[in-house]
Chain A
Amino acid sequence: MSTRFLEILGAWLLAIIWVLPLLYAVWTAFHPAEFATSFTLMAPLTLDNFRHAWDAAPFARYFINTTMLVTLILVAQFLVCTPAAFAFARLDFPGRDTVFAVVLVQLMVMPDVLLTGNYRTMAQLGLVDTILSIALPYLGSAFGIFLLRQTFRQIPQALDDAARLEGCTLMGRLWRVYVPLAKPTYIAYGLVSVSYHWNNFLWPLVITNSVNTRPLTVGLSVFASTDQGIDWSIITAATLMTSAPLLVAFLLFQRQFVQSFMRAGIR
């Protein structure tokens, strides 16, 4: 009984610690600047902070940049990971397990380690300061391949056999059997990928230097830099604006998200 009580208490504590910055951001963003550091229940509500933030920096452009970026990455990752995962899961070729092990090793390499190397490559390709250059290092995802491979492996071989017998080609089987049955995994992986690249900061900061390519995160940091003067109300308003789409998406998909991660072979 008391352990259960402690568990609940701990859960609440963790939840509160996690949500406090968000609550502070919400409080500050919807109130005038003088209430940023003082809590008064009856403080007047305002949307001015959002208007100021929106006018102060080209957030519309940043939104478009980030949307283009995550869409490009997501589509490319699906296109690249699906056939790779299928090959690792169901095709028999010499060296399959070795190659898969190499792919898994990639999971352990922190992307930040490759910062300078990647920059040099992009410079050689003449792609510095383009959206493609932000996306390029992430188009093949070891995590995506691993996750989809686990899912594909769990699809009964009999379904594959049946489709083969019914006249499906290799691509037909992939498209008509494997992809539809892996839908929850695609959704879960899609959310992880989108949120990661929506929030990704360091690499885009290094590789971009103009308004037309900068994603939201970099735009926000430029906006919040000290030479503009620190106005927490406006910064929190801008932060809420930039993270709102992700929060909404997660709330919409959270059931599928959690379920498919429980099913999708992370055991």
Chain B
Amino acid sequence: MELSHAIGLVQSYGTGRRTYRVTMMEPLPAGVPGGAAVRLHGVSRHWGSVAALDGVSLEVKAGTFCVLLGPSGCGKTTCLRIVAGLEQASGGVIEIGGRDVTALPPAARGVAMVFQSYALFPHLNVAENIVFGLKARSVPKADRARRLDRAVEILGIGHLLARRPGQLSGGQQQRVALGRAIVAEAPVCLMDEPLSNLDAQLRADMRREILALQRRLGITMLYVTHDQTEAMGMADQVVLLRDGHIEQDAPPAEVYAAPATTFAASFIGTPPMNLLKLSESGVIDGSVGPVLGPARAGLVAGIRPEALRLAATGIAARVTHGEYLGADTVVACTVADGQTLLARLPGRVGLADNAAVKFEFDRADLHLFDAGTGRRVSTV
């Protein structure tokens, strides 16, 4: 495993009164399956004339963490449910571990799933919830107990086993849901916005923990979220979806450094990339300079807010509002023809509203897109 940071890492943090400690240094127990590759070939899902998913093809390598990212209604959850087998694709082929599973029922696909609502059975206690699937599959009792013990040890929920889901906090319920996915020992784990019901602090903790868990078990993870922080922080591979098709499929660093489309550019980053319409002479529409792109009609220039710095020359702008965030300040400005420009400047920057400023940036931080198609244009 290349990720040495997962080895020897001890995390401890509190949720309410209880402190969990998750040790990530034990070797993988024998007999636990690693991950399996997941492939989608031209998968579509139509409801009448509406396409929730339109010819999506992607490959998730065995043992990697893939995040399906996108705004609500982009088809990411549909995609996940199709991989799980909870929904049937209208067209296309799904392969898990090299096996065509398109026609298989969910239980035969070798996937475990964590639901947004956790889907814990309210009439069963924690232990019964975790081994529910093993019972349904008639796994022998001794084996059941062994797997339960292992999951309980990994998640540190030994003291909760006799409780009902209704008596647990959100974070504890999340752990039980993870436990159910762990005991399944499936090579692929699917997660549908598992952290969206947790508060910010707990979410950050669980993010680290889920990642460490995936590394430790070596399983393939398919993770759905609309939160770009989760995607950037956890993924080996980010699949950005929009209106049922893939906008970009790349490692997070690449999605950030070289967004394939204006949509990808405006979805990733806090605040997202500035997109400025250019005139035919390559300057920002309505301004006299500087020249940002080649002299060509229909281009959009993209500059990340954090790539901008105050200077004596450069893009002229007028400050409309400054937002001090502690480590840095986000300054909102308008440029020549009223387009908005956000700059993220380190530290506290005191700029009066309406002040005239100029921003400079490195040429390497400039991205160009075609205004019509939204696609990236190679920088000249």
Give residues in A with beta carbon < 8 Å to B: 156, 158-159, 161-168, 172, 176-177, 180-181, 183
Contacts and interface: CB of A to CB of B under 8 A. Distances in A.
B171 interface: no
Contacts of B111: 165
Nearest to A168: B136
Given A167-B136, A172-B136, A161 B115 contact: yes
Interface string B136-153: 110000000000000000
Contact of A162 (B113, B122, B137): B113
B134 to A, nearest CB: 8
Interface in B63-111: 84-86, 105-107, 111
A183 B113 CA distance: 27
Nearest to B107: A167
A1 B111 CA distance: 63
Contacts of B106: 161, 164-165
Question: What 10 A-B pairs are tightest by C-beta distance, nearest first?
Answer: A166-B133, A167-B107, A158-B119, A162-B119, A180-B123, A167-B137, A165-B106, A158-B115, A167-B136, A168-B136
B121 interface: yes
Contacts of B121: 159, 162-163, 177, 180-181
Interface on chain A toward B: helix, strand, loop, or mixed SS?
A: helix
B117 interface: yes
Given A158-B115, A162-B121, A181-B121, 11 more contacts: A158-B116, A161-B113, A162-B113, A162-B119, A164-B86, A164-B105, A165-B111, A166-B184, A168-B107, A177-B121, A181-B122
A158 B117 contact: yes
Nearest to A156: B117
B81 to A, nearest CB: 8
A167 B107 CA distance: 5
A108 to B, nearest CB: 34
B256 interface: no
Interface in B169-203: 180, 184
Contacts of B361: none
B255 interface: no
B84 A165 contact: yes
B359 interface: no
A162 B111 CA distance: 11
A98 to B, nearest CB: 21
A175 B214 CA distance: 33
Interface residues of B, number: 22
Given A158-B119, A164-B106, A181-B123, A176 B113 contact: no
Contacts of A172: 136
A180 B123 CA distance: 7
Nearest to B84: A165
15 contacts: A159-B119, A161-B86, A161-B119, A162-B115, A162-B121, A164-B86, A164-B106, A165-B111, A165-B112, A166-B107, A166-B133, A166-B180, A167-B107, A172-B136, A180-B123
Contacts of A164: 86, 105-107
Nearest to B113: A165
A166 B119 CA distance: 12
B132 interface: yes
Nearest to B186: A165
B105 to A, nearest CB: 8
A213 B90 CA distance: 59
B193 to A, nearest CB: 12
A163 B113 CA distance: 11
Nearest to A179: B123
Contacts of A176: 132, 136
A183 B124 CA distance: 13
A32 B26 CA distance: 84
